[in-house]
Every structure is written in C-alpha cells, then in structure tokens.
Amino acid sequence: MKAGSLTFIEVLATSIALIGPSMTPILIAPYMFALAGNGTWLAYVFGGIMLIFVAFCINQFARRSSKAGSMYGYVADHLGPAAGAVGGWALLWAYGFVASAVLGAMSLFVELLLGGAGLHVPAVVAAIVLAFVAWQAAYRGVQVSAILMLVLEAISVSIICLLVIIVLHAHGFALDADQVHLKGAFPGGLGLSIALAVFSYVGFESATAFGAEAKRPLVTIPRAVIGSVLFATAFFVIATYAEIVGLRHAAVPLDKQDFPLGALAQIYGIGYLRVPILIGALSSAFSVCLACITTGGRIAYAMAEAGILPPLFARIEPHHDTPNVAVTAVTATALAVAIVALARGVAPIDLFNNCGTLSSFGFILIYMLVAVAAAVYARRLGAMRIPDVAISVVALALLVLATVWLFDSVPAPPQHWFGYYFVAFVVAGLIGFRFRKATG
C-alpha cells in the first residue's frame, strides 16, 4: 500500500472485513442461542457497549501516534515488562485458539460444500491442508489481497442482509415479543454468552495496523476502530434476531443447526444462496485464520525480543523477512489443538465453539490491561482529563463484570474448566517470565 492511500471508508471496510462479521450468523448464532436464548440480541448490545469503551481506550494511542502497534505493545510500553508478559501470553492464547476455532469452521464448510457434490474429505485432512496453506502464506509474507478480501466479505455480508430482509419482511414489522421481553433468556448463563459475543468481535482493533497507509491517520484510524464495533454490533443484533424469528418453528431449532443460514434459505425458497454463503464463509474464515497466525507470530517475535520467550522465536527468515520460527510455532500449536480434538471425535462445530470460548478469556484480559495502560499513557503525557479516567474506569468495570458473570455461570464440562485452564496458563507464563528474569 502507498502512504496516505486509504480513505476512512477503505480503512473502516478493511477493519470490518478482518472481523469476519459473516461468521457470526453463519456459525456462532446456534451456540449463542443455546447460551442466551431470546437474550442473544442483549448479549451483543452489552458486548458492543463494552468494546466501544475498550475502543476509546485503544484510541488514546491511535489518535496520538500513527505508528502501527498492537495491544501487546501498548501494555508492555506503559505498564512494564511483567504486565507485558501477561498481556503477551493472553494474546498468544487468544489468537491461537481463534486459529484452532476457524480451522474447525473451515473443515465444516469444506464438508458442507463437498457433501453437496457427494464427496467426503475427513475433517482432520481438511484442517491439515488449510493450516498448511495459511502457514505458507504467513511464512512467505504473502498478504491476502485487501481488495479480494473486501469483495468476498462484502458479497457474503450482502447476501446475509438480503436473507435477513426476506425473513423480517415475511414476519411483518411487529417486534418479536419473546425477544423484546427476554422470555427464556440466558439458559446457558449471561457471562458465557457475553464471552462468546466478544469472540465475534475479534479483530475490531485491526485499523491500528494501517498507520502508514491511511489518509489523516490520527483522525481516520480512531474513527475506524469505533465504526467497526458499531457496524458489527448492529449487524450481529439484527442478523441473530432474524435467525431466531425465522427458525422458531423450524423442524430443527436454531441451537441444533450446523448451518442456520442454509436452513433459512431453504425455508424461504432461496436455497440457491446456500453455496455462495458457504464460499463466502470459507474465504472469511481463511482470512481470519491467516490474520491470527500472522499476528500471533509477530507477538511471539516481540516477546522473544523482550526476553519473555527464547531467542529462537526472534529469528527472521532472510529471504522473506518474516518471523518464520514464531509463525511456524503458532501454526503448529493451533493445528495440534484442532487435530487432537477432531481425532478424538469432537465435531468441527464443537471445536469452533469451544476454542472460540477459550479465546475470549485471553481477549478479555488484554482489554483490561489496555484500559489501564490508556490511563497511564494519558497521565504520562500530562493530557489526562476526567473523561479519560471515566472511559478507562467504565471499560474496566464492564470487563470485570463480564468476568464475574463468566465464572458465575458455572457451565457444564468441558466449558466449566475453561477459565481455570486460562488462569493456570497465564500464571505459568508469569512464573516463567520471573524465572528467566532472575536467571538473566
């Protein structure tokens, strides 16, 4: 990209595409409905409000510097190396499990696409092939074309919007009383619902990576960060609302659907949209997988340079100028999780849901650290105002509230143990950091 070549709309569109919004109504909606029921829309409203305040915190950095950065860098630079280590491990956990989740998603999409042609590819084989392709792209530094990514995601979202309009038109304009009055809401727990809602927003901060390419970056990027959250929230609320209405009397309820939009298309007489939706979903999932591997590899590289990980992870491949060891390690770990789960008989959809839930713990923790880092940053600059303090406090309070709800939900195994696995992982990482620091 040329310097100063991207307008606000282009930065916003690219940021939205990296969220992969079409993944939520295609794949996340059934699990969300199982957890939140008729309160699904409210879980996304709460998640959206929470992340708006996190976005304001991120913008403390983005509106003052156009240097491309990551949440790990924000935390390490302003809260110190120990907090940086915790944030780094949280992000590696988060991006690694997102990569594993979308490997499961892509395996399911391949199965659905080829199944229509009478072909069958084992989910493990599909995951290995797709992970290899993503690893090659990340290893070689080959970026997915921004234009192609935008076009495919735009087509996918447009088709979903068309389907939503058809469903809502068929049911009239009266609001669904069951959803408005939260009848039977949150059977799986409010906290777990919000955690999965956070998973839907992964990548909303990606506009901060376009500091060099954006026109008027100190204005464009902060607006794009906020705009991507607002768009995603509106899209998630309306799309899931329509799915709940459209599938309420279906033979297979929403929480049992593997591909709810395909079922909606068949019910409303537009089954020919099934394949285009699947193709769009597959390309969207691949982009998310590649972004997670690339970002995770660069975080591991930065952690190695800071002495948190072994120096091997800071190695740069001379021909492609990429952190090849770090990228390979992130890919191998994500693939190992997917292979072990699939080989043990876990369905691709369950792999997606469980890994997505696991990833949410990492994102919630790094968002907490960013909220604190934003206030520290403003204070060091001598630019702290009462609104700055209020934004950080509200963001932190909402994240803490979501965490309390999450642990209070006490879902059935294996989800019951997810939070404790994450805490043990972060504690082990912090102990390792202290040990490396003590031994020089």
How many domains is the chain built from? 1
Does 1 reside within a domain? Answer: no
Does 2 reside within a domain? Answer: no
Specify the pLDDT at position 102. Answer: 95
Does 3 reside within a domain? Answer: no
Specify the pLDDT at position 141. Answer: 66
Specify the pLDDT at position 320. Answer: 76
- Answer whether residue 182 shows pLDDT above 80: yes
- Answer whether residue 137 shows pLDDT above 90: no
> Residue 111 belongs to a domain with what CATH number?
1.20.1740.10
Q: Whose CA is closest to 231, among 13, 383, 5?
A: 13
Segment 301-308 shows an average pLDDT of 92
Does 250 reside within a domain? Answer: yes
DSSP states along 386-434? HHHHHHHHHHHHHHHHHHHHHHHH-PSTTGGGHHHHHHHHHHHHHHHHH
Specify the pLDDT at position 319. Answer: 83
Q: What is the mean pLDDT of the chain?
A: 90
Does 314 reside within a domain? Answer: yes
Specify the pLDDT at position 310. Answer: 92
pTM: 0.91
Specify the pLDDT at position 341. Answer: 97
Segment 44-67 shows an average pLDDT of 91
Block residue for tokens 């939900």: 409
- Answer whether residue 142 shows pLDDT above 70: no
Host domain of residue 136 = 8-438
Does 217 reside within a domain? Answer: yes
Q: Which residue has the higher pLDDT, 130 or 412?
A: 130
Segment 155-160 shows an average pLDDT of 90
Q: Position 40: which residue type?
A: T
Q: What percent of the chain has pLDDT over 70?
A: 95
Q: Whose CA is closest to 143, among 209, 63, 59?
A: 209
Give the contacts of 273 (CB within 8 A, at least 6 positions apart).
159, 162, 163, 265
